Structure 1
Amino acid sequence: MPSSITSHHESSTRQRIVEAADALFYQRGFEKTSFADIAGQVKLSRGNFYHHFKTKDEILSAVIELRAAHTQAMLEHWTASEETPMARLGCFAEMLIRNRKDIQRYGCPVGTLCAELAKLEHPAHGEAGMIFGQFRHWLREQFMALGRRADADVLAMHLLSRSQGIASLANAFHDETFIRREVAQIHDWLLTLHPEEPAARRRAKTSNPPKP
């Protein structure tokens, strides 16, 4: 087999392993997910599996890297697709509704992983927490664009912590109505910061209408 084909195949296999591990770490937790669980998910022998990853910590690093890349791509998409910082902040709030089913069942993927790694005193805890840093930096930029330069970081942390609280309680109570109500309140709060842009609120409402 040509080396280029072999390299592509190995890259594809590694990617499948990381994506399977990402889902299992989210659904079961890092500690409760074994090599065998991941290998079984991608239908690989243990030998082939160890060719790509020798330890679960190596997989964890790859999963964190994947999540960080997905987060960055999402933030860049919001920045490019929305014309105003208010509309972009609305995208962040609506993320709770878009992912409501998974959040109710498993919680926030970033928050749950960070909490578990902190409990385990795992050295990758800080690495996982950097994904929150991506959100914090992006939110701060949006609030600065709204003219709130003096308290942009305070506002960013407030919105980030509120979204985490909503995700945590939604996971505890499995209450979709609660998620929708809290997201609506976030939109109301955002409008108090920049009341001249009610269109952002209207767009957010129509983009995710309540389902029966």
Structure 2
Amino acid sequence: MTNSENRRVRASQKRQRLTAAAARVLHEQGVERTTLGDIAREADVPLGNVYYYFKTKDELVRAALSEHSAHLNELTGRLEQLSDPRDRLKGLIEAWVGRREVAARYGCPTGTLAVELDKRADGTLDAEAGAVVRQLLDWSGRQFRELGLSDPDDLALTLVSAYQGMSLMANALRDPDVMTREGTRLLRWLDSLRAPDAHR
């Protein structure tokens, strides 16, 4: 590998470290309380490096949203290995419950960011946060559609709304068990859903 290729690889790795750090810190502290210095410390890079890759905090927020989108793609990609769409949806719920401690402490990464961005006066990034939520809705809707269920998009909305609600309640009450109890209820709900012709 040439020196210039090495530099490109190192630069790409540093940018990825900063992006991952931005996703973590913005989730834990929120946009308004987070500084570029916080991101630099979390990524263990000099502050000047942050400015080299990201000129503004908004660029870091955008990078954090892309990180959330990538994590969602990674999770749903793993779930796609399951042959049964009901099992995929159950795997999604189990993944949510598996992060119950984080949810109880900080809420849903994308949901909390979407709410905070919506409150900002400039309103430039809230649609991008909404796009990540839409990504989850679309994937869930496809699973319900594969199951042959009526109103698959409405069922996806019910599922994702339940996740946002249980994340919010777990965070507000600082109680990870909320995620466990509500996750169990969602799994039972999924098992109860049957395609119209299955009743015959």
The question of a shared fold, defined as TM-score above 0.5 by the shorter chain, is answered with yes
CA RMSD of aligned residues (A): 1.6
TM-score w.r.t. the length of structure 1 is: 0.86
Residue aligning to 2:131: 130
Unmatched 5+ stretches in structure 2: 196-200
Q: Are the equivalent residues in 1 in contact too, given 2:117–2:126 (CA < 8 A)?
A: yes
Distance in 2 between residues matched to 1:152 and 1:104, nearest whole Å: 29
Residue aligning to 1:47: 48
How far apart are 1:153 and its partner, in Å?
A: 0.5
How far apart are 1:46 and its partner, in Å?
A: 3.1
Residue aligning to 1:97: 97
Distance in 1 between residues matched to 2:7 and 2:91, nearest whole Å: 40
Q: Are the equivalent residues in 1 in contact too, given 2:54–2:60 (CA < 8 A)?
A: yes
How far apart are 1:23 and its partner, in Å?
A: 0.7
The 3 A distance-change label for structure 1 pair 170 and 7 is: same
Do residues 174 (structure 1) and 174 (structure 2) align? yes
Q: Which amino acid aligns with 1:41?
A: E
Q: Deviations over 1:29-87 (max 9, x none)?
A: 1111001111222333333322211111111111111211111121111011x221111
Q: Deviations over 1:119-146 (max 9, x none)?
A: 1143111011111111111111111111
Distance in 2 between residues matched to 1:33 and 1:110, nearest whole Å: 16
The 3 A distance-change label for structure 1 pair 3 and 92 is: same
Other structure's SS at 1:54 match:
coil
Distance in 1 between residues matched to 2:80 and 2:26, nearest whole Å: 29
Q: Which amino acid aligns with 2:38?
A: D
Residue aligning to 1:86: 86
Residue aligning to 2:4: 3
Q: Which amino acid aligns with 1:26?
A: H
TM-score w.r.t. the length of structure 2 is: 0.91
Residue aligning to 1:12: 13
Unmatched 5+ stretches in structure 1: 196-212
Distance in 2 between residues matched to 1:21 and 1:176, nearest whole Å: 24
Residue aligning to 1:24: 25
Q: Deviations over 1:147-205 (max 9, x none)?
A: 11x4001111011101111110011112233322211111111111139xxxxxxxxxx
